[in-house]
Each structure stands twice: as structure tokens, then as C-alpha cells.
Amino acid sequence: MAEITFLGATKEIGKAGYLLEEQDETLLVDYGVKFGNPPTFPDMVYTSNLQGVAITHAHLDHSGGVPWILSKNPHLSLFCTPATRDIVTLLVHDMYKISRGRLPFSKKDLARVNRQCQALTYEETMPIGRHFEMTLFNAGHIPGSSMVSVRYNGKRILFTGDFNATESRLCAGARNNLPKHDYVVTESTYARRINPDREKIEQDLVDTVIETAESGGTVLIPAFAVGRSQEVMCILENYGVLDNFPTHIDGMARAVNKILLKHPEYVGSPRDFESAMKKTHTIHNNRDRDAAVAPGNIIISPAGMLKGGASHVYFKKVHDDPRNAIVLVSFQIPGTPGAELLAKKMATVGNRLYKVTAKVRYHHLSSHSDANGMLEMLSNIPGDPEFFLIHGEPESCEALAQKLREIGRKATVPERNETYQV
């Protein structure tokens, strides 16, 4: 009998980690970080019988603890797509720089992420140790994201990671015809939410951008470096906006763009993305930044919740002119400057509170399935699997469990460090 232990992301979003144990071997799926002061990780596991770590996708709540595991076992293998490997490498270096020595591993361990990775493409199956066999399926969440399917002792378990069954401009939707599974460990982020129609959100976003640019304002779109920045680029390209208004890209989105150009097979429409890349201007220095803030210009710049990065530089330049617009495109976690801006039309940026006279708009481009999308995809997985609900507020995990039970499925909301037989 195999066992699964839920090391993290139980009844919360942050520091994912799941340990699968079959006889004398173990396998980790995801090993993330939760930011705080200091940052925290799932509990450390014995690495002597660990056969490897599978990383569903690059977001640090799924990957940020991997250097710590590697510091305990430098020869451990990592399994993920090549796009995930390169984005994780970029993100852990950035995390290290920002954390200024508050992390329990060294710079040497960061270099191991790339070195120890055995990249797998979607649908490819790889034996791991003597007891496991792993296949990655497209998860549709961000480029390179995957659902991790593991076979062991005649059974099969699926870790959905974060997923989006709906196709976006940047990513094809998650693989739908999944093979038979006995168990499914699924995210529950938006289990209590219905996303508005994608095309309507895109159209509203484009309308805001064009109206602002045409009336002589500057549009600032603070967006996550991984996924959302490129999604906005592809939307603006599709609606012809990039042909008419100078559009600038700053912050870490620039490095992510370079990585995605190397891995076009992990982008939904590589042609749109390459075309968007050709038509946008990459910011190189402060002189470029000054020039970018001009009437009719568009700026796409991390951080997505105005928590730092180049978005601060632009926020200070555009916030006090009613012709300008600040357009938020992702969920704004309470306590962030982005959430403050939406609620009060003011934002604390760099220890100072700014009153904002620029227009503030919110067009949420979700990279997760909503309640209906989740239930549809999960209920279609063949084999009548048993579900474990993680990665959501407690109410969201419970809501999804309830919906699954209503259609006759077995569903459990595990607690942290709880172990179940599978």
C-alpha cells in the first residue's frame, strides 16, 4: 500500500508539497515557498530514499523550496518541462536576491536547479526509481505548466497543479482526455467563483487601453512577469493595438519573454507571441523609462500587484494625471498596493501613500479554471477517482469537495502533514 503525505498548500495557497511513498522509495511533487518574514517551506523530508522532485509549474509557491531540497541532496533529480526548468531558474535567483540571506540555502544550490533537471515534454513517460512512472500533461495555467500523473503498484494518481481548462491567448487549455486515474490531488483556488466570459474581459481591456491612449493618456498595466505579461501582449496583438500604439515591456517580463522565445512549443500561439515580441519595445535603462511615459503609450511591467519592481517607477510617473490609466489584470491579494488601489484609489508605494487621480481599471485575466470549469474537468477524468482538495482557502477546498460529493464522488480536504493510504 502506498501513502501520500500533504506537506503544504492544505486549506491555503502557498508552499505546495506532496510526498508519495511506495515501499522503500519516495517521490516529491512540488516543493514551494510561502513568502513572509522569514519565508517558510514545507517540512523537510528524508532525502535518502527520495527518487526525485516533480515540479508542476514555475510559480514559486510550487518550486521555491527546491534549492533547499537540493542543498540536502545535491544529486537529486528534478522532473519538469524545459520551459518550467528555465523559468524556475530565473525565479529562484530573483527570490534569492530579494531575500538577502534569509533563505536556508546558498547560491551554489540555485545553480543545481538547472543542472539536476531531467526535462520531460508533455505526454512523455519516464520511469523513476523502481516503483514510479511519471507522465506530464499540459495544465494550461502558464507556459510549461503540467499536471503530474504517477503510476505505482498498478495504480495511478494525478496532481493537477494549478490548471486552466479554458484556452487563453497564451496557453492552450489543459489536456482534457486524461487517462484513467485512481486518485486526483486538485487545486481549489477559484472553487467559489465564476469567471466572466473570456472574450468580454479581453474586449473590455482593449477598450480601456484604446480609449486612454487615444485621449492622450499613458496606460500602465502592472502584470506578473510569468504568464500575465505575455498574455496581455498577445491580446493587444490580436486586437491590433500593438500596430497603433507604442507598447513597452519592462521588469522581469523581459527575461521571461526571452525564455519563451526559446520554447515556442509551450506557448499556445507561438506566431502571435513572436509577432507581439517584434512589435513591442523592450526597456533597457532609465532613459527608456522616461521616454516610455508619453501620451498614447502603453507600458506592461511587473509586479502584478504593484508590490515592487519597475511597476513602482511607472506608478509614480502616471498616478497623478486623470488622462492616464492603471489597469490591473490579476487577483489582488488583500494587503498589497494593488488591492489598496482598487479599494481606495490610493496606494502605498515605497513607504509613501499616493492619492491616485489616474483612472483605475480591473480586467481579471484568470489563469485558473473557475468553479464550473474545475468540476467539468475533474468529473470527466475516467476511473471514478477519489479526490483530495488542496491549494485554496478552507471554504474553497470544502466547496469543491461538496460539489464532488454531490455527484457521488469521494472527496477529502486534508490537513497539513496528514498521511493517507492510496
Residues that bind Zn ion (CB under 5 A): 59, 162
Q: Which is nearer to Zn ion, 89 or 218 (CB)?
A: 89
Q: Which is nearer to Zn ion, 59 or 312 (CB)?
A: 59
Q: Which is nearer to Zn ion, 109 or 187 (CB)?
A: 187
Question: Can you tell me the distance from the alpha carbon of 221 to that of 328, in angstroms, rounded to the nearest whole number?
Answer: 6
Smallest gap from residue 126 Cβ to Zn ion (A): 23
Q: Which is nearer to Zn ion, 59 or 359 (CB)?
A: 59
Smallest gap from residue 147 Cβ to Zn ion (A): 12
Question: Can you tell me the distance from the alpha carbon of 180 to that of 383, in angstroms, rounded to the nearest whole number?
Answer: 5
In sequence order, what are the residues at sequence separation of 6 or more whose Cβ sits closer than 8 angstroms to the Cβ of residue 248?
Answer: 280, 281, 282, 283, 288, 292, 297, 298, 299, 300, 301
From the list 316, 323, 328, the residue with the least C-alpha distance to 229 is 328
Q: How many residues does the chain have?
A: 422
Smallest gap from residue 57 Cβ to Zn ion (A): 6
Smallest gap from residue 177 Cβ to Zn ion (A): 23
Q: Which is nearer to Zn ion, 16 or 184 (CB)?
A: 16
Smallest gap from residue 162 Cβ to Zn ion (A): 4
Q: Which is nearer to Zn ion, 22 or 162 (CB)?
A: 162
Smallest gap from residue 187 Cβ to Zn ion (A): 8
